[in-house]
Structure 1
């Protein structure tokens, strides 16, 4: 554990931390959908504010918004095809297509996190 983590843990119990995840957002459920949802819940319960920044294709080709996944309801039933983003487990996410907008996007996320933290005091 670093000294910065120690200081955050040693501060008041209501203090929230910010975790920015920057990824293409694909393959999140390789360990299982419930495992990912459980990790997101554990982070929320630990007062960690998660923001997922999805770096998407700028040409609108093979966009994460176009991905479809099968949803299996029961044995012997045909799967229902749904949008991948309908099952995206992170409540706060940004789909970013222009990488040059990343600094502004991250500063907006940081501003919103400060608002979230100060509103809870």
Structure 2
């Protein structure tokens, strides 16, 4: 799948292994999982606040930041966008595209195949 998120993810993987001075991605990767997770949480809060404030332009910008930081977190965790898309497809088959997995339902659903972190 060649979409913006997949291209972003590929770029994140390339930056992770680079020694480029000033690379935000390489710096986040070096700082570890807690920093990557913290950045996702911070951006999610900013997205939420901009949505509540009705600030459309800021919501768009912060959403892009959230997606970037999520791609960094995935890469740091050895998760690919394709694995996330597979989970979304599985949920669509069970509940429809516009539905979130019901609370507590994950215990009785088939688990997706777990993969080892890729390095």
With normalisation by structure 1, the TM-score equals: 0.23
Q: Which has the higher helix share?
A: 2
Higher Rg: 1
More strand by share: 1
